[in-house]
Amino acid sequence: MNRLTGFGEVDLIAQLADLKEVDYKNTLVLTAVVELLVEKGILTRQEVIQKARQLDTDLSLDLDRSLYAN
């Protein structure tokens, strides 16, 4: 088993912290965009939820197909 030691662990922890920060900022911007679209009456929350579910289903099916194609 390959174990990280010293600086390797610190580097890995720093990378994870960076990823969390990027994920938080992306989520914040996406939420702001959706809220603005809803406030302006361009989309409803239900439409956003339906599209997210549809995309999740479509992506899951595509992933399943690609896994079984090989």
Summarize the confidence of residues 55-59 as an average pLDDT.
94
Summarize the confidence of residues 25-38 as an average pLDDT.
98
What is the value of pTM for the model shown?
A: 0.67
Give the 3-state DSSP-derived string for the chain, with helices as H, strands as E and coil as C: CCCCCCHHHHHHHHHHHHHHHHHHHHHHHHHHHHHHHHHCCCCCHHHHHHHHHHHHHHHHHHHHHHHHHC
pLDDT at 4 over 70: no
Summarize the confidence of residues 22-47 as an average pLDDT.
98
